[in-house]
A and B are shown apart, each in its own frame.
Chain A
Amino acid sequence: MNSPHWIIKYRLGIIIFFSSITILSLLLFPKLKINPDLDSYVPDDMENKIHLQQLDSIFGGSEMLLLMFQGEDVLNTKTFNRFQSIINQLDTLNGVARCISPFDAKDILFQDGFMTMNPLFEVFPDNKNDILKLKTKIQNNKLASSFFVDDYSVVSLIIIKESTISDALLIEGVNRVIDNNPGSEEVIMGGQPFVRYAISGSIEEDIIYLLPIALILMVSILFFAFKEWKGVYMPFLIVIMSMILSFGVMALLGWHISLITILLPIMLIAIANDYGIHLIARYQELIQLDKEQNMKVVCQSIYHDLKRPIIITALTTIGGVLGLLTHTMIPAAQLGILAAIGIAFSLLLSIWFLPALLSYHKPSKAVRERDKTKLSSTDKWLNKFSFWVTTYPKRIVFISIIIAIIGAFGLFFIKVDTNIEGYFLGKSEVSKGIKLINNKFGGSQFISVLFSGDVLDPELLARMESYEEILLADKAVGTVSSPVTLIKELSKGFYDENEAGYNQIPDSGDEIYQLIEIFAMGGNEETVEQFIDFNYENSRMLISLTDGSNIEGKRIVKKINELMKNEPNLQYITGSCLTKIELADMVVIGQIKSLLLAIIIIFVLLSLIFKSFKAGLISALPLSMAILLLFGLMGYLNIAIDVATALLSSIMIGVGIDYTIHFLWRFKKEFARGNDHKTAAHISLTTTGRGIIFNALSVIIGFLALTLSNFAPLRFFGALVVLSIATCLLSALILVPSIVIWMKPKFLEKK
């Protein structure tokens, strides 16, 4: 090496170039937006999404925010006044289309030949007897009673959200109104806009708190491993710069941070520091071997020694994460692209930027003078692995196969759940609201059934009434609302209580039309249009579910389909509940497709690199076994595959394959130096193995931060990633060397 390598020659330019790209990416950050809406994960051409949009265009937006006031007994003057004041202020709040509350309920009476329709809550009674009378009135009034729980410990109101306002603006406004009207009752919020708002807030919180924790943990483990700051800040810097570039690209492309893409920094922490760690480990190895070596020469050497394995590991990882492109879930595919870009950038940073930067430093004196005869705990572990692998290779392979088979059985128990209500932990405010709505107010997840044709036909309405009765008998169904409820209520205003026709569907379509016409003219058009469209051509039935799980949702949808299979006026069944079910199917299909594609890409790449199919097989096999074990364990532990855990396999492939390649590459090199299989495996394990262990440990410790997340799926995700990385580590350090020693593959013996 007479003339300096170009990396050394242009080191300043390299540093400035990569730093500039990072700064430019950072400037794009203000454009980043968070999107917590689960519906946006589903492609626009999905049938249910199209139906939902059609339904919205027919009936208008129907997004509801629920406010529940909980106290000992809410029927008292103080609560009444607070409740009324809040409603008055909410009515004028920006983004509130209207408020529906018990104050809308009318007390219909016949007195002296006149029908009176007075508000049920016009004057609040001031003595116990009148309060008892009021309670009886509420019980007999279907419209009013639906706002109370049976023991009067909770009273609720519904806010219809204007589609033009964001969840955040509306909820912050509502919170201001509540703060302006303090009281002893606890106010609990619920409904999909609030759940989305909470998810959005929690994503921000997770980014603000979890990311630094993960990075601090990573830094600590790197310092523990390398015992010098160069070994800490350089891999750390690569991770940070890769993250900045990926998020910059995200902002540039106008993509949003979702519950899935929040995994991007976590993936990069796991993957992007991999290459830097191996370079640092090699640098330390070199300065220990030759204490007089010049730093520029060391940097050139680490570049030459590790350039190829690092490029190969990066390419296979990029291939693995690009497997996510097969996902129908849009953010999953976006994650694949962004992670691939981040990994590619970290590759360039590792092979060019890191040596350039490292060349400005002096070799660590402490590392140079480290006592080689004194074994660290890592070295002790590596020696143990080496002993097991070289002594019992067949036994290890056999045990691994048994573990994989046991794991595979767990796949039969695996379930898929994409219910966002399950994202929140038991004691959270959101969880509390969800429980209260599901248990006391019929549930916050809806299925809509659209009927078209002559929707005022009494025969159709009679059939709808029978569907309603059957569905209401199911414990998973909370409430069923349809034009039938409205029309029967209207009939009460035109027939005496003891007269035929009272609380019944009228016999003729004309009569139904006239009742609705009179009602709509009184400023109640919006109430009518919740069920029957503008020109009376379509009507809908709204079914709420008390259990938001996919299993129950699927069962009810199946039941509705069977119930209405011969219904001539049925157009379609739709709802956010079906989106969730479709999403679950997408998760499973996407998971299988991305896994297969990733394994195929890796198999082909490694077969090409090592010019042997066996190489592809040996690399892909331990990984496949680790994946089987992971998903099997999820089945045994009843952990559902959801939007977050669905991405586990891609991360596992991305990380796991790197460890295998690093081992195989070093093994090949040591074998070429004339060592036999066992010796080559021993040297590879005790040298490259060190980098692999440091890498895995830093990732494991980093991912532990996820167990502090606000979301249950992210907590499980964190724990499962730790388990996956540990499995990949054991595969690379025990299973792969065992296979290599036992099978003696020819591709590793080629010069």
Chain B
Amino acid sequence: MSALTHEHLAIQVRQKLRLPPTATLDLQPLVPVALNQLAVQVAGDYKKRHWLLTDPSAITATLTSGVADLSALIASDNILIEMIRYGMVYYNAITGQPLIWQNQVGIGRMAGPYDQLFNHVWAQGTTLQVRGPNATALSGTLYLAIPFVASLDDLPEPLTDDLVNTLARLVVMPAANENAA
């Protein structure tokens, strides 16, 4: 994991952009924004997204009658519900096949091929909904390996350059960066 602090990061970006020393202060409030944007970018990049997936042995949700509420995980573990589809959701055991992602509620509820082989999962609001074989409402535990917004403490070292660049982009072209995100 990176040993970067807010100040280290601000100094790196300040040097990169040749900003005055007081920019070390100006940049610090933007670090959470940069981390957020980096998480979205990484989740959308198939080569990098595995750097920022939650640990499924630690991040779990209780599934009750086919519904798992993620609101607590959103608040405590910064998971990106808009990017869950790029992760893996396991039902009751991490070792098995991950659930098959369905793009929308309607498709999720519709009977489809391989229903007998795979469980299906889809999102509705801040809940995950799971359908078992023959539309069985499942209960148990979901193990989540899904995109999340890292803090500086748990940012993988190989992503530090990306974070520096993300923060630098926020400074030099904030509007363009907002659109990209």
Do A and B interact? no
